[in-house]
Structure 1
Protein backbone atom coordinates (compact mmCIF):
# COMPACT_ATOMS: atom_id res chain seq x y z
CA UNK A 1 0.00 0.00 0.00
CA UNK A 2 1.47 3.34 -0.97
CA UNK A 3 0.87 6.79 0.46
CA UNK A 4 -1.71 7.70 -2.19
CA UNK A 5 -3.86 4.69 -1.31
CA UNK A 6 -3.49 5.45 2.40
CA UNK A 7 -4.42 9.09 1.76
CA UNK A 8 -7.46 7.93 -0.23
CA UNK A 9 -8.56 5.64 2.60
CA UNK A 10 -8.11 8.43 5.16
CA UNK A 11 -9.95 10.87 2.90
CA UNK A 12 -12.81 8.40 2.42
CA UNK A 13 -12.97 7.88 6.21
CA UNK A 14 -13.16 11.63 6.83
CA UNK A 15 -15.84 11.96 4.14
CA UNK A 16 -17.95 9.21 5.76
CA UNK A 17 -17.41 10.73 9.20
CA UNK A 18 -18.45 14.16 7.87
CA UNK A 19 -21.62 12.66 6.35
CA UNK A 20 -22.42 10.89 9.61
CA UNK A 21 -21.91 14.11 11.60
CA UNK A 22 -24.12 15.98 9.11
CA UNK A 23 -26.87 13.40 9.58
CA UNK A 24 -26.56 13.64 13.37
CA UNK A 25 -26.61 17.46 13.20
CA UNK A 26 -29.74 17.28 11.04
CA UNK A 27 -31.44 15.08 13.62
CA UNK A 28 -30.34 17.41 16.41
CA UNK A 29 -31.79 20.39 14.50
CA UNK A 30 -35.11 18.56 14.08
CA UNK A 31 -35.16 17.71 17.78
CA UNK A 32 -34.42 21.34 18.66
CA UNK A 33 -37.32 22.47 16.48
CA UNK A 34 -39.62 19.96 18.16
CA UNK A 35 -38.42 21.04 21.59
CA UNK A 36 -39.03 24.70 20.70
CA UNK A 37 -42.54 23.79 19.57
CA UNK A 38 -43.17 21.91 22.80
CA UNK A 39 -41.81 24.82 24.82
CA UNK A 40 -44.15 27.23 23.03
CA UNK A 41 -47.09 24.91 23.66
CA UNK A 42 -46.14 24.61 27.32
CA UNK A 43 -45.92 28.41 27.59
CA UNK A 44 -49.37 28.66 26.02
CA UNK A 45 -50.76 26.12 28.47
CA UNK A 46 -49.13 27.96 31.36
CA UNK A 47 -50.73 31.21 30.21
CA UNK A 48 -54.12 29.48 29.97
CA UNK A 49 -53.67 27.98 33.44
CA UNK A 50 -52.82 31.42 34.84
CA UNK A 51 -56.01 32.75 33.26
CA UNK A 52 -58.04 29.90 34.72
CA UNK A 53 -56.47 30.48 38.12
CA UNK A 54 -57.41 34.16 37.95
CA UNK A 55 -60.98 33.23 37.00
CA UNK A 56 -61.16 30.69 39.83
CA UNK A 57 -59.94 33.33 42.28
CA UNK A 58 -62.71 35.61 41.03
CA UNK A 59 -65.28 32.84 41.49
CA UNK A 60 -63.98 32.17 44.98
CA UNK A 61 -64.26 35.85 45.91
CA UNK A 62 -67.81 35.96 44.57
CA UNK A 63 -68.71 32.81 46.50
CA UNK A 64 -67.27 34.33 49.69
CA UNK A 65 -69.30 37.49 49.09
CA UNK A 66 -72.45 35.41 48.47
CA UNK A 67 -71.81 33.48 51.67
CA UNK A 68 -71.46 36.74 53.61
CA UNK A 69 -74.73 37.94 52.10
CA UNK A 70 -76.46 34.65 52.97
CA UNK A 71 -75.29 34.98 56.59
CA UNK A 72 -76.60 38.56 56.64
CA UNK A 73 -79.95 37.41 55.20
CA UNK A 74 -80.12 34.59 57.75
CA UNK A 75 -79.41 37.08 60.55
CA UNK A 76 -82.13 39.39 59.21
CA UNK A 77 -84.61 36.50 59.04
CA UNK A 78 -83.75 35.44 62.59
CA UNK A 79 -84.19 39.01 63.79
CA UNK A 80 -87.51 39.40 61.97
CA UNK A 81 -88.86 36.08 63.24
CA UNK A 82 -87.81 36.92 66.81
CA UNK A 83 -89.46 40.34 66.50
CA UNK A 84 -92.56 38.70 65.01
CA UNK A 85 -92.66 36.29 67.95
CA UNK A 86 -92.32 39.15 70.45
CA UNK A 87 -95.05 41.14 68.71
CA UNK A 88 -97.24 38.06 68.62
CA UNK A 89 -96.78 37.57 72.39
CA UNK A 90 -97.53 41.25 73.07
CA UNK A 91 -100.59 41.15 70.82
CA UNK A 92 -101.88 38.06 72.65
CA UNK A 93 -101.35 39.80 76.00
CA UNK A 94 -103.25 42.83 74.78
CA UNK A 95 -106.11 40.71 73.53
CA UNK A 96 -106.30 38.54 76.65
Structure 2
Protein backbone atom coordinates (compact mmCIF):
# COMPACT_ATOMS: atom_id res chain seq x y z
CA UNK A 1 0.00 0.00 0.00
CA UNK A 2 1.38 3.31 -1.07
CA UNK A 3 1.16 6.18 1.32
CA UNK A 4 0.72 9.55 -0.27
CA UNK A 5 2.78 12.10 1.59
CA UNK A 6 2.51 15.69 0.64
CA UNK A 7 5.83 17.42 0.46
CA UNK A 8 6.13 19.96 3.21
CA UNK A 9 5.95 23.46 1.77
CA UNK A 10 7.65 26.55 3.03
CA UNK A 11 5.44 28.50 5.36
CA UNK A 12 5.34 32.23 5.92
CA UNK A 13 6.92 31.65 9.32
CA UNK A 14 9.82 29.84 7.62
CA UNK A 15 10.32 32.72 5.19
CA UNK A 16 10.07 35.26 8.01
CA UNK A 17 12.75 33.37 9.94
CA UNK A 18 15.04 33.28 6.91
CA UNK A 19 14.60 37.00 6.33
CA UNK A 20 15.21 37.72 10.01
CA UNK A 21 18.42 35.67 10.02
CA UNK A 22 19.57 37.42 6.87
CA UNK A 23 18.99 40.84 8.39
CA UNK A 24 20.75 39.76 11.58
CA UNK A 25 23.81 38.65 9.62
CA UNK A 26 23.88 41.94 7.72
CA UNK A 27 23.51 43.85 11.00
CA UNK A 28 26.43 41.95 12.53
CA UNK A 29 28.61 42.62 9.49
CA UNK A 30 27.78 46.32 9.54
CA UNK A 31 28.57 46.44 13.25
CA UNK A 32 32.02 45.11 12.43
CA UNK A 33 32.44 47.68 9.66
CA UNK A 34 31.35 50.45 12.06
CA UNK A 35 33.99 49.36 14.57
CA UNK A 36 36.65 49.40 11.88
CA UNK A 37 35.60 52.89 10.78
CA UNK A 38 35.81 54.05 14.39
CA UNK A 39 39.39 52.83 14.44
CA UNK A 40 40.13 54.62 11.18
CA UNK A 41 38.58 57.83 12.59
CA UNK A 42 40.81 57.57 15.65
CA UNK A 43 43.86 57.13 13.46
CA UNK A 44 42.92 60.14 11.32
CA UNK A 45 42.48 62.23 14.47
CA UNK A 46 45.99 61.24 15.50
CA UNK A 47 47.37 62.14 12.08
CA UNK A 48 45.63 65.53 12.22
CA UNK A 49 47.14 66.23 15.64
CA UNK A 50 50.60 65.30 14.41
CA UNK A 51 50.22 67.47 11.31
CA UNK A 52 49.19 70.38 13.53
CA UNK A 53 52.35 69.97 15.57
CA UNK A 54 54.44 69.80 12.39
CA UNK A 55 52.80 72.94 10.98
CA UNK A 56 53.48 74.83 14.20
CA UNK A 57 57.09 73.66 14.18
CA UNK A 58 57.46 74.70 10.56
CA UNK A 59 56.22 78.21 11.39
CA UNK A 60 58.75 78.43 14.21
CA UNK A 61 61.54 77.34 11.85
CA UNK A 62 60.46 79.94 9.28
CA UNK A 63 60.55 82.67 11.91
CA UNK A 64 64.01 81.60 13.03
CA UNK A 65 65.28 81.53 9.45
CA UNK A 66 63.86 84.99 8.82
CA UNK A 67 65.69 86.21 11.91
CA UNK A 68 68.93 84.53 10.80
CA UNK A 69 68.77 86.25 7.42
CA UNK A 70 68.22 89.53 9.22
CA UNK A 71 71.29 88.90 11.37
CA UNK A 72 73.43 88.27 8.30
CA UNK A 73 72.31 91.62 6.93
CA UNK A 74 73.24 93.30 10.21
CA UNK A 75 76.68 91.69 10.21
CA UNK A 76 77.26 92.89 6.64
CA UNK A 77 76.12 96.41 7.51
CA UNK A 78 78.31 96.44 10.61
CA UNK A 79 81.32 95.41 8.51
CA UNK A 80 80.61 98.20 6.02
CA UNK A 81 80.21 100.81 8.76
CA UNK A 82 83.49 99.72 10.33
CA UNK A 83 85.23 100.07 6.97
CA UNK A 84 83.81 103.58 6.54
CA UNK A 85 84.77 104.54 10.08
CA UNK A 86 88.31 103.38 9.38
CA UNK A 87 88.48 105.53 6.25
CA UNK A 88 87.26 108.68 7.98
CA UNK A 89 89.19 107.99 11.17
CA UNK A 90 86.14 107.85 13.41
CA UNK A 91 86.45 106.08 16.75
CA UNK A 92 83.74 104.38 18.66
Q: State the TM-score bracket (shorter-chain normalisation).
A: 0.7 to 0.9
- Number of positions where the alignment pairs a residue of Structure 1 with one of Structure 2: 80
Report matched runs for 1:6-85 at 5 Å. Answer: 6-77=15-86, 79=87
- TM-score of the pair, normalised by structure 2: 0.80
Distance in 2 (CA, whole Å) between partners of 1:5 and 1:71 is 98
Q: Report the alpha carbon displacement of residue 68 of structure 1 after superposing the two structures with TM.
A: 0.7
Higher share in helix: 1
Q: Normalized against structure 1, the TM-score is what?
A: 0.77
Structure scoring higher RCO (CA < 8 A, sep ≥ 6) equals 2
**Structure 2: stretches of 5+ with no match in the other structure:** 1-9
Q: Which runs of 4+ in 1 moved over 6 A?
A: none
Unaligned 5+ segments in structure 1 are 84-96
